[in-house]
Amino acid sequence: MAKIHRVIPPILVPVVLATVWAVPVRAEAPRPRALVLLDREPADARIAGAQIRLARTRLESAWRVEDAASLAGLAWPDPACDPGPRDERAGRVLQGLRGGTTRFYDETDVEGARGALQPAIDTFLEAPCIFAADPRGRVEAAGGAVLLLRLHLLAGRPEAAADLGRRLLRTFGADELAAVDVPPEVTEFLDRVGEDAGAALVPLEVVVTGASPGAIVLVDGRLLPSRSTTARVSRGIHGVTILAGGSARTRRVRVEGPDRVVLDLALSSAVRPGPEGTLVAAAPAELAGGLAGRLSVLTGCTVVQLSGAGGVGPVEASVVADPGDRALPGVVLRLEAAGADGTVVALASGPLVRRKAWPWPWVTGAATAGLLAAGIVLNVQANQAADSVNAGTNRLDDWRSRRAGSIACYALAAAAGAGTVVLAILGRPTPQRVVLAPLPGGAVAGFQGTF
């Protein structure tokens, strides 16, 4: 019998046969909060809206971008509480209250009374500040509201009465309702509504900084007690209004227990709400005066300044302030204007616009190692079978199958190794460009990457 020779020489290279891929399971670290500050009012609101939405989408990969309306510490302009509109509203409310009272008591016109009282009370509850300079008007509003609640009960409308009762308990103090001639059935109904809504009074401390001398602080249109910063309110949404310098600013707060609200009136005056949940600096001097740093300290947010939004030039997003005093990365996103006709608004680039590395090189690399290890094992087994055949044992089939398997594993390992190199080159993180073209009622976006 012919002697069987080893066609695959033994490989004297130590190989690790077991590769353990361990992916640690851990909770995702919470993203830091950020706000977007525009350096000026956008010239074109439509283009600015598309640019800001694109910028926010990209910023969300690194931060949780907050809406300006939700930022603590800031109070927004409230035109309804400015002196002129406030007095005009107050006049309309008093006219409706007195007309409804007259129709009920003098004309016994229940439907007419309810029709006159309902819009007057709704107008007052939307802006209870209208009687800031007229405490007697507030008392008259409480009396009209109690009468309207009584009319709802007489008409068999308990749902409408309960809704009005909850609104009254959020707006009026117990002393104000006690000063009104309240029928026993209305008192009992309000007590039940208060119990169902958990309307026990809780303290709300109001701290206002940066206010000019003579500023007036109202909670639901009611003056804070003299020399006190704390009001007792029911649980629910309340309005804190500051009247100063002929204008009014209001902050809506939700109170679920003893709470404290801090408002910076000077900082609130330095910004205004912008498009798409952004803030706009009131003047360039405010930016130069450290506006971003003050906003960061007050809100606890990283401040990302967006320059040039709404224009035809490039728009840049830069990190300009951080509450943790971390190193500022500078420009993190750039929207470059493109297209002579202005059809394409922006090409986005920067550190936040990068394609992630592929995982496939690691997969093919692991396959290469596994195939190489299998080839070595089959090679050793084939050589052992060849020795047995030469010694006279009938293991020719084993030798042939193991030799074929070993050759196949080596060939596949070579192919997988070549694929790993190719995928590693093609899968490198590269800048990605996002093309945005605004259209009526929306926008078209496209993506472009490079190898």
377 and 283 co-located in one domain: no
Distance CA 268, CA 248 (A): 11
For residue 12, what pLDDT is reported?
35
38 and 58 co-located in one domain: yes
Reduced to 3 states (helix: H, G, I; strand: E, B; else coil), residue 29 is coil
Which phi and psi angles does 65 have, rounded to 5°? -80, 125
Distance CA 393, CA 388 (A): 5
**Domain membership of residue 327 as a residue range:** 33-66+267-349
For residue 406, what pLDDT is reported?
76
374 and 411 co-located in one domain: yes
CB burial string 293-321: b at 16+ within 10 A, e below: ebbbbbbbbbbbbbbbbbbeeebbbbbbb
For residue 449, what pLDDT is reported?
46
331 and 311 co-located in one domain: yes
345 and 314 co-located in one domain: yes
Our count of domains for the chain comes to 4
Inter-helix orientation angle 135-154/83-105, to 10°: 40
For residue 446, what pLDDT is reported?
45
For residue 229, what pLDDT is reported?
87
329 and 367 co-located in one domain: no
Planar angle of CA 251, 254, 259, nearest 5 degrees? 95
271 and 339 co-located in one domain: yes
**The token pair that represents 134 in the structure block:** 């007229």
Q: 355: which residues sit within 8 A by CB, 6+ positions away?
A: 429, 430, 431, 432, 449
* pLDDT string in tens for the chain (451-residue length): 445 555 444 443 333 333 333 334 444 568 889 999 998 899 888 888 888 988 898 888 888 999 988 898 999 999 999 988 999 999 999 999 999 999 999 988 989 999 999 999 999 999 999 998 888 999 999 999 999 999 999 899 999 999 999 888 888 887 888 788 888 888 888 888 877 766 678 899 999 998 888 889 999 998 887 677 898 888 888 999 999 888 899 999 999 889 999 999 999 999 999 999 999 998 888 888 899 999 999 999 999 999 988 887 788 899 999 988 777 888 888 887 654 454 444 556 666 655 555 566 667 777 777 777 777 877 777 777 666 666 666 666 676 777 777 787 777 777 777 776 765 655 555 544 544 444 344 444 444 444 4
For residue 284, what pLDDT is reported?
85
| Residue 260: CB atoms within 10 Å | 12
Q: Which of 247, 265, 283 is the last residue of a domain?
A: 265
235 and 304 co-located in one domain: no
Per the rule left: phi > 0, alpha: psi between -120 and 50, beta: everything else, 410 is: alpha
- Measured CA to CA in angstroms, residue 21 lies from 18, 24, 211, 373 at distances of 10, 10, 61, 16
279 and 343 co-located in one domain: yes
Closest CA to 45 of 269, 268, 278: 278
256 and 181 co-located in one domain: no
95 and 147 co-located in one domain: yes
Q: Which of 243, 265, 287 is the last residue of a domain?
A: 265
58 and 88 co-located in one domain: no
For residue 36, what pLDDT is reported?
95
